[in-house]
Amino acid sequence: MKAAVAVENQNRPQIDDRPLPEPAAGEVAIDLKAAALNHRDLWILSGNYPGLKYPVVLGSDGAGVIGAVGEGVSEEWIGQEVIIYPAAHWGEREVAQGPDFEILGLPEDGTFVERICLPLRRTAPKPDHLDWAQAAALPLAGLTAFRALFRRANLLAGEKLLVTGIGGGVAQFGLQFGLAAGAEVWVTSSNPAKIEAAVAAGAAGGVNYRDDDWPAQLKQATGGGVDVALDGAAGPGFAGLIEAARPGARIVNYGGTGGALPQMSPRPLFWNQLSLLGSTMGSSTDFADLQGFVRQHQLVPVVDRTFPLDQVAAALDHMDGGAQTGKIVLMP
Ligand SMILES: NC(=O)c1ccc[n+]([C@@H]2O[C@H](COP(=O)([O-])OP(=O)(O)OC[C@H]3O[C@@H](n4cnc5c(N)ncnc54)[C@H](OP(=O)(O)O)[C@@H]3O)[C@@H](O)[C@H]2O)c1
């Protein structure tokens, strides 16, 4: 079978031919129908990820059909359509993952393959209303947005939510989930067309984070600032989030695409009673609740483009260029 493998000192994976794996006891073999990219894949390829190990099959997200079962797993599972929980070993505490927490696709071989074997408990039924690409797009990014908004920031109906960098995969879920929860959603983007598309999807408005005065623009447009900000960029723009926050707001960060946090005065933080929160993916409880939320609101992940598995390099180039809106998906 084909596998997209990250190797040392190459910024794009190579396509290897590997034997079809057999499920061990307690495992199922999933014949993948789709596998989604995450920004993490680019970090790994550029050598900017903790715990690097080569060679490794990339990919954290996947959806497919159970094609074989290992010892101790009922044959009734064969033919079931599933999505994959992209993490392992969350640990005992819901408040944060434990030290053994891992994400599929480093160090464990990931989903950019035709078949993967995983413990049955790391699968969940594919939501019926989603096609294969949409189903594969959901797990990692959907889980990240879900936990950040509802477990960490406790977003409430009627609140004003800012989602930064709306072209991003997690950000698109932030927009959808915020709207479904009854929030008034605002966005930032470097691309006016992406802001227009977000407004067409239900956002109240947006500003361009490349404008120096974007926090002031946002504060004015929202009539005093936002209650919650969902941010995957950090970087110098983080100071703007604090400026655009209404007193009492919660700012939840899940990523650092824009680089290190800026130096800033602590005064706006303490004076305005702000909460700064961090969030990473989610527990298996969060994953179950995410699926319930997506089914209840019949939400459909935004798929930007699909590529055949052997065009993984082109798919990664597309993500690196930042022109996407939503998820980029490989079809094995
Ligand atoms: N902690 C976790 O569990 C977790 C989970 C998933 C992702 N992440 C991290 O979160 C980040 C986003 O991940 P993703 O998969 O959603 O990435 P992605 O789909 O590649 O997102 C790319 C988007 O980021 C936006 N962006 C880039 N620079 C920005 C800046 N300076 N300010 C605001 N927005 C900016 C751009 O939005 P516009 O095109 O609209 O300008 C771009 O389209 C990555 O760093 C990723 O590693 C962390």
**pLDDT by residue (tens digit) across 120-149?**
999 999 999 999 999 999 999 999 999 999
> Which amino acid, 64?
G
Nearest residue (by CA) to ligand 1, atom 13, is 39
**Looking at ligand 1, which atom is closest to the CA of residue 328?**
19
3-class secondary structure, 163: strand
The mean pLDDT of 158-182, rounded to a whole number, is 97
What's the pLDDT score for residue 331? 97
For the entire predicted model, the pTM comes to: 0.98
Question: What is the tally of helices (H) and strands (E) in the chain?
Answer: 10, 18
For ligand 1, which residues put their CB under 6 angstroms from it?
Answer: 38-40, 43, 140-141, 144, 164-171, 188-191, 194, 209, 232-233, 235, 237, 254-258, 280-281, 319, 322
What's the pLDDT score for residue 10? 95
> Which amino acid, 128?
D
Which of 42, 212, 257, 283 should be mutated for ligand 1, with most atoms under 8 A from CB? 257
Summarised one tens digit per residue, pLDDT across range 35-63 is 999 999 999 999 999 999 999 999 999 99
* CA of residue 143 to ligand 1 center, whole Å: 15
The mean pLDDT of 322-328, rounded to a whole number, is 94
* Distance in angstroms (rounded) separating the CA atoms of residues 332 and 328: 13
Considering the chain, what percentage of its residues have pLDDT values greater than 90? 100
Summarised one tens digit per residue, pLDDT across range 229-271 is 999 999 999 999 999 999 999 999 999 999 999 999 999 999 9
* Distance in angstroms (rounded) separating the CA atoms of residues 312 and 174: 26
* CA of residue 75 to ligand 1 center, whole Å: 40
What's the pLDDT score for residue 220? 98
Exposure class string for 199-212: b at 16+ Cβ within 10 A, else e: eebebbebbebeee
Summarised one tens digit per residue, pLDDT across range 285-294 is 999 999 999 9
* CA of residue 258 to ligand 1 center, whole Å: 8
How many beta carbons lie within 10 A of that of residue 67, not counting itself?
A: 18
Cβ partners under 8 Å of residue 332, min gap 6: 2, 32, 33, 34, 35, 112, 113, 114, 309
* Distance in angstroms (rounded) separating the CA atoms of residues 232 and 131: 27
* CA of residue 232 to ligand 1 center, whole Å: 5
Instruction: Write down all domains in the chain, each with its CATH number in brackets.
Output: 2-138+301-331 (3.90.180.10), 143-278 (3.90.180.10)
What's the pLDDT score for residue 231? 98
What's the pLDDT score for residue 165? 97
* CA of residue 25 to ligand 1 center, whole Å: 37
Nearest residue (by CA) to ligand 1, atom 21, is 168
Backbone angles phi, psi at 168, to 5 degrees: -70, 155
Nearest residue (by CA) to ligand 1, atom 20, is 39
What is the sign of the dihedral through the CA atoms of 229, 231, 236 and 238?
Answer: positive
> Which amino acid, 112?
F
- Give me Rg for the CA atoms of the chain: 20
Summarised one tens digit per residue, pLDDT across range 276-309 is 999 999 999 999 999 999 999 999 999 999 999 9
Task: Return the DSSP state at 26.
Answer: T
Cα 116 to Cα 39, 47, 104, 120, 137, distances in angstroms = 21, 24, 11, 12, 17
Considering the chain, what percentage of its residues have pLDDT values greater than 70? 100
Which of 143, 170, 218, 325 should be mutated for ligand 1, with most atoms under 8 A from CB? 170
Summarised one tens digit per residue, pLDDT across range 185-238 is 999 999 999 999 999 999 999 999 999 999 999 999 999 999 999 999 999 999
